[in-house]
Structure 1
């Protein structure tokens, strides 16, 4: 690959970082642009999970049954501000349709294939970046407050079993062994041994970027506004980039990894992608706040507690409210109050509140592929809750496209034009 082949990557979140690293490994000249910095926004505050055992689309039947009850609670696992509902309705209709059995299995199989690729790609990329030591292999537990709640989850576990994903339903002494100090209200759990976690998502992302920089990738802090395709000599084309400060640049190809803002840029290349913003909240407590052995998910309440080297992170839940509304940190405080009840002895003082924007598509599958009107423009966005998990696989797939190789998985389910 010619060193003069220049690819611009828009977005320095974990997907952009992994894409930049993969392209630099392939010999491209890579420049990554972001308005703030490397792994400074949504990718810095996630739950730190490499959730390989979790390929279920969010619209699966179990979740759809819970929606009415969740929506009735303004501080519950899912909320939609009434004023935003009319704008959200087309996305919600697509989301409900995606849960139909005729579509569910196809989405499940596509997601499972991407997860298998993600697991192998993360194993390789983390080793090459000298970051494998930042990944723990302690598994995770989904927690239930009754046998009935566990039974309601069984269709999802049966789907995982068909895919060969290992898990163990636990209770009593086994549950207490896996996580001491739980409230007795949690009577059952499911342990996922292949669930992994990074020490801290921001530190981990910066370690991957440091590897990309060693390979020659560059970062520029600039707010991207848009791009046009311009013809060059011999029938070739280049991408002309415009930035908010009035500056411009050119590249041979462009990758859009701009998270919750990506669909605005895709529309300029002829692709209307129904991306919506899930606003997620968390509170990171100081180190030593609780003796947390592994990530815990409180299934009926829609949030997780994660052990980081930098503290204990309590967060999750979904607020479908777009990009413009101010944060509602009462949601973070509500999760923290519940966590204190669920983990007696949790020290809740000194926490740091945060909100991030998850870019989510109604069928829970990301967009990975070429733009409709420009073969040298690629998309890599819309991973929802799974950006960290699937970023190494996405970077590998963009590398395959850019080098003209057969992609490691079939990209048809992830096509930008599937909508």
Structure 2
């Protein structure tokens, strides 16, 4: 039986940042993934380092807009009718997460993680020589009516309490931030601390190369079927039958992670937000910074490799085929919001966001093995929180005191 020091299941951006952080601590790391480095969900996200995005989804207008959104099968939120019975327990927890008491706890925990995320990303970008991939133009959230703008104000007040910078804009100032907007948008909010990267897939691959240069880091394109505790750490059984013994194991397999955790006694209510996008040629429209159309549930991001239009939520699990009508619906809306947008030549994509009902990830040890660490469930914020999660994984694996209080992120909190 082969033995390794630290095994990581999942080569998405969270697993890659964990590998980089552990390499910096002089640990030997083997990353297992069925496809490649940042080839799945981490390849097609909106490229945001969304540090001000601390509001739980249950408090971001989703509950208020739920009836209207569900009435539109191609709108910001879709739930296939046949999936409702399976989803009902998750929806109940999601609704409860919007209660004032739980909301405040989630907001404080998310803000703490975001502060660490910003510090760790800036450090990692410098260490890996990828600072040139950072875009610091901020983001502009847009509103089509005074009523929509006023409904957003409690969320901005909450961000203000935790020190996140923003300013409300209108008229010429809004037009200067993004020329060519449809006149249907009457107000906006500009977040200067919101950052983006040139391309999330290219960044993930560059961070992994940094990890390889820094230490003993290897990648194996292998599927892990099961995991189990061992008196020497943890045992992985691969799809081809090989068994691998590791001193420490990190589960960062995104939307598939709960399937690995359940046999260990960790029943984690992870659901899959299936997100869609279309990436247009880079000259499709001159977008100055990420544009957020919150009432429609999607964003437009200028990348080094194209103009990405994506978002929305389809709560439909891991097994249903993609419904690319959803990406086409967002593209049509964007054509109305940005008159003159050229919509030809786009590439459609669908990915699986691993989401927990309280909008907080799981970062902590398995209940039955201190050698098994979970790092998944980041929802829309996997890229944003990856460097912080990598740092916290390193703290847990090496036995250091975590950089922040991890109790809100405990795998046992459910």
How many residues are aligned here?
411
- Whether the 8 Å CA contact 1:138–1:196 is kept in 2: the answer is yes
- Whether the 8 Å CA contact 2:4–2:30 is kept in 1: the answer is no
Alpha-carbon deviations, 1:202-221, whole Å to 9, x = none? 00110101101112211000
Alpha-carbon deviations, 1:10-40, whole Å to 9, x = none? 0000000000000111011100000000000
Residue 365 of structure 2 is matched in structure 1 by: 370
* Offset at residue 229 of structure 1 (A): 2.3
- Whether the 8 Å CA contact 1:61–1:99 is kept in 2: the answer is no
User: Is the partner of 1:416 in helix, strand or coil?
Assistant: coil
Structure-to-structure mapping, 1:17-416, within 5 angstroms: 17-60=16-59, 62-215=61-214, 216-231=216-231, 237-416=232-411
Partners of 1:291 and 1:410 in 2: CA distance: 42
User: Is the partner of 2:266 in helix, strand or coil?
Assistant: coil
Residue 8 of structure 2 is matched in structure 1 by: 9
User: Is the partner of 2:58 in helix, strand or coil?
Assistant: coil
* Offset at residue 146 of structure 1 (A): 1.1
- Whether the 8 Å CA contact 2:233–2:249 is kept in 1: the answer is no
* Consecutive unaligned residues in structure 1, runs of 5 or more: 232-236
* Offset at residue 100 of structure 1 (A): 0.4
User: Is the partner of 1:375 in helix, strand or coil?
Assistant: strand
Alpha-carbon deviations, 1:131-180, whole Å to 9, x = none? 11101100001100011110010000000011111101000000000000
* Offset at residue 316 of structure 1 (A): 0.1
The CA RMSD over aligned residues, in Å, is 0.9
* Offset at residue 248 of structure 1 (A): 1.9
* Offset at residue 5 of structure 1 (A): 7.1
- Whether the 8 Å CA contact 1:5–1:28 is kept in 2: the answer is no
Residue 234 of structure 1 is matched in structure 2 by: none
Alpha-carbon deviations, 1:100-144, whole Å to 9, x = none? 001000000000000000000000011000011101100001100
Alpha-carbon deviations, 1:271-327, whole Å to 9, x = none? 100000000000000111110100001121111000000000000000000000000
Partners of 2:229 and 2:100 in 1: CA distance: 41
Partners of 2:59 and 2:100 in 1: CA distance: 9
Partners of 1:300 and 1:371 in 2: CA distance: 38
Give the TM-score, by structure 1 length: 0.97
Partners of 1:100 and 1:275 in 2: CA distance: 20
- Whether the 8 Å CA contact 2:4–2:245 is kept in 1: the answer is no
Q: Which moved more, 1:221-230 or 1:4-13?
A: 4-13
* Offset at residue 61 of structure 1 (A): 6.3
Change beyond 3 A, Cα 1:352–1:5: closer
User: Is the partner of 1:391 in helix, strand or coil?
Assistant: helix
User: Is the partner of 2:370 in helix, strand or coil?
Assistant: coil
* Offset at residue 239 of structure 1 (A): 1.7
- Whether the 8 Å CA contact 1:169–1:189 is kept in 2: the answer is yes
